[in-house]
Amino acid sequence: MKSKMATTASDFFEQTKVPDNYDAKKQAMLQFVEFHRRKTTKIVLITSGGTTVPLESRTVRFIDNFSIGTRGASSAEHFLDSGYAVIFLHRHRSLEPYTRHFSQQTMLDALHVGEDDTISVDEAKAPNLRSILVKYKQSKSERRLLNVDFNAVGEYLYLLKAACQVLGQVGSKVMIYLAAAVSDFYIPSSEMPEHKIQSSGGPLQIHLQLVPKMLGPLVKEWVPQAFITSFKLETDVSLLESKARKALQTYDHQVVIANILETRKLEVVLITRDCAEKIALSEEQIKNNVAIEELIVEHLAAMHDSHITGELSNIDT
Amino acid sequence: MKSKMATTASDFFEQTKVPDNYDAKKQAMLQFVEFHRRKTTKIVLITSGGTTVPLESRTVRFIDNFSIGTRGASSAEHFLDSGYAVIFLHRHRSLEPYTRHFSQQTMLDALHVGEDDTISVDEAKAPNLRSILVKYKQSKSERRLLNVDFNAVGEYLYLLKAACQVLGQVGSKVMIYLAAAVSDFYIPSSEMPEHKIQSSGGPLQIHLQLVPKMLGPLVKEWVPQAFITSFKLETDVSLLESKARKALQTYDHQVVIANILETRKLEVVLITRDCAEKIALSEEQIKNNVAIEELIVEHLAAMHDSHITGELSNIDT
């Protein structure tokens, strides 16, 4: 089979089948945005978790990414705390805001069946349960959190585009926060075997094509007025800042958050056109279990406010 | 890099680094087995979930398998119901016995913070919570369930061998129930890049070697007296029975459970040296939410009893 170079975004969508439940998910996002649009709430689209790359069309095997979505889920909580409405576009079974704090085992361990057959909760076994529960219920009653899930990279990109189409009409009040770990590579469906790959064939060779970069059309066409933050994760510190700055030059969006695999929970660098600002937890903050996402969201929300003011004054002049 | 053919089991272990926490996990298995050995309890080792195949040594990407461990976790519950002690060797974050029935979201939805600030449980929102909770607590108080987790295929194989070394001394009272979806392919650490693979390199080629089949040494050397069940999952029905029968002839163990991806929750075929028995849920059972694992475990427990009797009479003669 002949190897092809990277396809364009529109070629990719033409070659990739529309995911299951696409219409229902797009409709849910539309209703969510309509609801909040009337209320002058700021809205953030958070993408979170890794995308899969199926190796067979009746998929048994796939390539995945180590992300379990801590960054995205933690950030979502802080955006909700800051008054945002949140579309949380996340990998199926990755961490979700609030629920992530209590594993299924923690929950069962904290429950007791009494002699009268009623179930009671031992809060000592689930620290912070009450305060998190209150926030979880509040996000539900105010309808400020919409969870939408994906698995494969094609499904993710379809839903990202759909979310942006819905959000594009809201203008500068929208932030796009691209924390998902999106695969750079994929196998076009035309080059994928139908059935499970057999080990009797001996050593295996897998040929992957490049996934087209969607940040270009996203910034230029899908949500041109939004405040857009992307992430750059590397394991090699010598590549990080140059790659982050290159991304900013290429796509001309607002912020790249650069982070290194090993230290990503302690420090990141916020790179904008004009500067690079390191954000790191102090020793005091580490001791008090402050999450770095709290600092990131605080910075971004302030920058987003300036962006909104700037866009509005652009319209005035 | 020159492609090599499949390595042997002992070569594989020599080339693969001992996993983190290996000693602690082996020690926990040893104590568990010692505890139950004195009590004439039957012991089953269940393996469950998919193994990962890291593509980089500082792993960002890996190949995975769609399994989330339903078969293994459901089977574990039925083995516990049948009086077995269970070592549950499972993929980290895959489904576990009992806890799997209640997602983190289900749990938070079922909890309410009252006006007096106490937390209460709405059992209507978590069906069967009480009965499952009672079984969960019982398995803990009787110390009949040991959870041990893994991620990469190398880690899995190290822990499988350790479990078998511990169980080998218990003889025919042991069942090995190999429900994990183990990768057929891997990348030897000597051929793995250290850092995250860059997309700037263009389309990607991945070369994978065959993982040596461990069922041979497992049956012949590690647990020669145990009752051993392996699984064969295919998407292509025309390959299934011949592949299952071939596995039985090659490794000379007791049972292969053959199943097809699409129908695996409704029917399986138990293949032994003498026969092939189809086990399928009746319409009545499907309506009543009976799990096929209940039927599988019932059949296997009876076969295991005969195996124990047979082994004992072999010793007598």
Is B153:B183 a contact under the CB 8 Å cutoff?
yes
Write out the two tokens for A25.
């998910």
In a domain, A4, yes or no: no
Nearest CA in chain B to A102: B104
Minimal CA separation from B119 to chain A, in Å? 7
Q: In this model, does residue B155 exceed pLDDT 60?
A: yes
Q: What is the pLDDT of residue B284?
A: 97
Gap between the Cα atoms of A80 and A138, Å rounded:
10
Single-letter code of the amino acid located at B223: V
Please indicate whether, in this complex, the C-beta atoms of B107 and A107 are within 8 angstroms of each other. Answer: yes
Interface contact flag, B62 A64, Cβ < 8 Å: yes
Identify any residues that bridge with B259 across adjacent strands, giving them in sequence order: B233
Q: How far apart are CA A282 and CA A287, in angstroms?
A: 9
Of residues A300, A160, A173, A166, the one with CA closest to residue A225: A173
Residue-level pLDDT at B5? 54
Q: Which one of A93, A98, A206 has the shortest CB-CB distance to B206?
A: A206
Q: Which residue has the tokens 């090699």?
A: A236
Q: Which of B4, B131, B184 to mutate to test the interface with A (most CBs of A within 10 A)?
A: B184
In a domain, A124, yes or no: no
Residue of A nearest to B116 (CA): A130
B282 has pLDDT over 50: yes
Q: What percent of chain B has pLDDT over 70?
A: 97
Q: Is the dihedral of CA B213, B216, B219, B224 positive or negative?
A: negative
ipTM above 0.95? no
pLDDT at B1: 37
B53-70: b (≥16 Cβ within 10 Å) or e? bbbbeebbbbbbbbbbbb
Count Cβ atoms below 10 Å from residue A267 Cβ, excluding itself: 15
Residue A157 in any domain: the answer is yes
**Is there a contact between A102 and A109 (Cβ–Cβ < 8 Å)?**
no
For B210, nearest residue in chain A (alpha carbons): A203
The model's pTM:
0.91
Measured at the CA of A104, the angle between CA A103 and CA A110, to 5 degrees, comes to 90
Q: What is the pLDDT of residue B315?
A: 57
Sequence-distant (6+) residues with CB within 8 A of A174 are A42, A43, A44, A45, A167, A223, A225, A226, A227
- Whether B236 sits inside 8 A of A195 (CB atoms) is yes
Could you tell me the CATH number of the domain that includes residue A146? 3.40.50.10300
Question: Is the Cα torsion angle A292, A293, A294, A299 positive or negative in sign?
Answer: positive
Per-residue confidence band for B238, with pLDDT thresholds at 50, 70 and 90: confident
Which residue segment(s) compose the domain that B39 sits in? Answer: 9-98+138-198+205-316
pLDDT in tens, chain A (317 residues): 334 455 789 999 998 989 999 999 999 999 999 999 988 789 999 999 999 999 988 788 999 998 999 999 999 999 999 999 999 999 999 999 999 999 999 999 999 999 998 999 999 999 999 999 999 999 999 999 999 999 999 999 999 999 999 999 999 999 999 999 999 999 988 888 877 777 777 788 889 999 999 999 999 999 999 999 999 988 787 888 888 899 999 999 999 999 988 899 999 999 998 888 999 999 999 999 999 999 999 999 999 999 999 876 765 44
Residue A70: both structure tokens together: 């801590």
Q: What is the β-pairing status of strands A227-234 and A255-260?
A: parallel
The token pair that represents B235 in the structure block:
């998407």
A299 within a domain of the structure (yes/no): yes
The answer on pLDDT for B6 being more than 60 is: no
pLDDT in the model for residue B256: 96
CA distance B229 to B145: 19
Give every CB contact of residue B67 below 8 A, 6+ residues apart in sequence: B48, B49, B50, B91, B94, B180, B181
Task: Nearest by CB to A199, from B66, B99, B210: name it.
Answer: B210
Task: Look at A66 and B60 and tell me if their CB atoms are within 8 Å.
Answer: yes
Residue B133: per-residue pLDDT:
97
pLDDT exceeds cutoff 80 at B111: yes
pLDDT of B195 reads 75
Closest residue to A208, CB basis, from B108, B111, B203: B203
Residue A127 in any domain: the answer is no
Residue A182 lies in a domain: yes
* Token pair for B254: 């007791």
Q: Cβ of B209 and A195 within 8 Å?
A: no
Determine the residue type at A55: L
Answer whether residue B106 is part of any domain. no
In a domain, A281, yes or no: yes
| Closest CA relative to residue B232, chosen from B188, B191, B276, B186 | B276
Query: Nearest CA of chain B to the CA of A197: how many Å?
Result: 9
Question: Which pLDDT tens digit goes with each residue over B18-71?
Answer: 999 999 999 999 999 999 998 878 999 999 999 999 998 878 899 999 899 999
Nearest CB partner across the interface for B64, out of A64, A105, A203:
A64
Q: Is the pLDDT of residue B316 over 70?
A: no
- Quick one: what percent of chain B has pLDDT higher than 90? 77
**Residue B40, by phi and psi: left (phi above 0), alpha (psi -120 to 50) or beta?**
left
Which position has the higher pLDDT, B195 or A73? A73
Cross-chain residue pair A60–B119, CB shorter than 8 Å? no
Say how many domains are in chain A.
1
